[in-house]
Amino acid sequence: MSTIAIAVNAAISAGAYLMTVRMIPRLRDMFIKANLFGRDLCKKDKPQVPESYGVIIGCVFLISMFLFIPIPFTFDENAATDAVTGGKPLTFPHDKFVELIAALLSICCMIFLGFADDVLDLRWRHKLLLPTIATLPLLMVYYVNYNSTTVMMPNFARALFGTSVNIGIFYYVFMGSLAVFCTNAINILAGINGLEVGQSLIIAGSVLLFNFIELSLGHQVESHQFSIHFMLPFLATSLALWKFNRYPSQVFVGDTYCYFAGMTFAVVGILGHFSKTLLLFFLPQILNFLYSTPQLFHFVPCPRHRLPKYDQKSDLLHISTTEFRLDELNSLGRLMVKVLRTLRLVSWQEHADGRIVTNNLTLINFVLVIFGPVHERVATQMLMGFQVLSTLLALFIRYPLANYFYARET
Ligand code: UD1
Ligand code: MG
């Protein structure tokens, strides 16, 4: 029966793709008129590009999911109306139903808050707060529905802690943090044409691949079906956006899309019970976050934009830089830049007057430090290639290695 629900979901997703592909070019003028545009900073004449298209993608995704709500229950024998009483049977999976609605509520909330961020251009501390607010519906429903806060222990820790440990409130802290991380991690690995959508497409593809592998193995079937129901329309609408956002971008996605994508991943990771595997698919984003920490937490000066610098003559991207003197940094900041320099993870130019110039600490700039100036399209392809490699590594860790560390109980 579940295959019928997946097939209907796939058909709705195909419809969503076709609808989005037609809508995107038609709405360009409307966005520009509403002042929702940004300058494409890596082009010769810095053209105006309509921004915040994530709001359109998010809406089409929500419409697709709203239409899909009854489908899994229509084909579920446990949910069929009782022929004798005419009411819903005792076996009706209320928990699954509420879970679906709460997941959509959280994603909807994130789209709304992301759009507010695009329009109001919020500060960094607010950006951390928004996903926390948006996960509240999910966490509260999780509390009412399950409140299961036990985690499985790896084999080597079982002698000490037992097979599983109840971590209570920390489980909720973890779920909230996952949402904050997923949303912001995509937003800060951004700034060159197509990268936000490109990475999200590969993560979505990886999650789907993982879900189908698990389904074929018969593991936690319901959880993986739940994830597929979200990932297919997400992939379809994002593919439509990719058509217009890849180099040279005709539309920008805005923070709305980054938050929407991150939240959708967090929701399927949490409710699908595969948050650890999900994090493995976020390896480039984790590395970008760790590399960025000195600037994110202001140990090293952080300019408003850290995207690479465009060179008109060669049409190539060069590293963008930040400048400081060692005595301006606090001791932790000095230690951080020293470690980065010793490990040769940054470009380093020391001027006679003591000024130091290094690249802005993003994965995009790091790729340019390693490979030298490249074309914008190539930079995006390189980072997407790295995302694919990370998926392969993640699957290797998840299967051969995890089977070794986590003996299956069921
Ligand atoms: C995050 C990054 C910032 C990066 C920006 C680019 C951190 C802490 N913040 O900020 O360094 O510069 O994303 O998205 O890492 N743009 C392009 N080409 C693109 C995409 C975006 O030129 O392909 C420019 C446009 O001017 C667009 C702007 O980036 O208007 C969007 O930036 P915004 O999303 O507001 O930046 P943040 O998310 O705050
Ligand atoms: Mg952004």
Cα(21) to ligand 1 centroid in Å equals: 24
Nearest-atom number in ligand 1 for the CA of 296 is: 8
Cα(81) to ligand 2 centroid in Å equals: 47
pLDDT score at 123: 85
Report the pocket of ligand 1 as residue ranges, CB < 6 Å.
38-42, 51, 187-188, 190-193, 249, 252, 255, 296, 305-307
pLDDT score at 407: 62
Residues 6+ apart with CB under 8 A from 373: 311, 314, 316, 317, 318
Residue of 48, 288, 305, 384 best suited for mutating to test ligand 1, as the one with most atoms within 8 Å of CB = 305
Give helix 283-296 / helix 376-396 axis angle, nearest 10°. 120
Ligand that lies nearest to the alpha carbon of residue 306, given by its number in the listed order: 1
| 268 in Cβ contact with 231 (< 8 Å) | yes
**What does each C-alpha distance from 117 to 68, 114, 237, 259 come to in angstroms?**
29, 5, 21, 10
The SS3 of residue 304 is coil
pLDDT score at 408: 57
Nearest-atom number in ligand 1 for the CA of 42 is: 22
Residue of 35, 39, 41 best suited for mutating to test ligand 1, as the one with most atoms within 8 Å of CB = 41
pLDDT tens digits in sequence order for the chain, 410 residues long: 589 999 999 999 999 999 999 999 999 999 999 999 999 999 999 999 999 999 999 999 999 999 999 999 988 878 887 777 878 788 889 889 999 999 999 999 999 999 999 999 888 888 889 999 999 999 998 888 877 788 878 778 888 888 888 888 898 999 999 999 999 999 999 999 999 999 999 999 999 999 999 999 999 999 999 999 999 999 999 999 999 999 999 999 999 999 999 999 999 999 998 999 999 999 999 999 999 999 999 999 999 999 999 999 999 999 999 999 999 999 999 999 999 999 999 999 999 999 999 999 999 999 999 999 999 999 999 999 999 999 999 999 989 877 777 665 44
Nearest-atom number in ligand 1 for the CA of 254 is: 34
Where are any strands of DSSP class E within 255-406? 309-311, 316-318, 321-325, 348-350, 355-359
Question: What are the boundaries of each domain within the chain?
Answer: 2-281, 297-378
Indicate the pTM of the whole model.
Answer: 0.95
User: Among 267, 287, 303, 304, which residue's Cα sits nearest to residue 363?
Assistant: 287
pLDDT score at 1: 53
Q: Output phi, psi for 150, to 5 deg.
A: -95, 145
Cα(246) to ligand 1 centroid in Å equals: 15
What distance in Å separates the CA atoms of residue 385 and residue 250, rounded to the nearest whole number? 23
Cα(191) to ligand 1 centroid in Å equals: 5
**Alpha carbon nearest to ligand 1 atom 14, residue:** 191
pLDDT score at 410: 42
Say if residue 207 is exposed, middle or buried (CB neighbours under 10 Å; 0-12, 13-18, 19+).
buried
User: Among 228, 310, 217, which residue's Cα sits nearest to residue 264?
Assistant: 228
Residue of 187, 299, 302 best suited for mutating to test ligand 1, as the one with most atoms within 8 Å of CB = 187
What distance in Å separates the CA atoms of residue 60 and residue 16, rounded to the nearest whole number? 6
Ligand that lies nearest to the alpha carbon of residue 305, given by its number in the listed order: 1
Residue 182 pairs in a beta bridge with none
| 111 in Cβ contact with 58 (< 8 Å) | yes
pLDDT score at 86: 79
Cα(305) to ligand 1 centroid in Å equals: 6
Cα(187) to ligand 2 centroid in Å equals: 5
| 165 in Cβ contact with 150 (< 8 Å) | yes
Residues whose beta carbons lie less than 5 angstroms from ion ligand 2:
187, 255
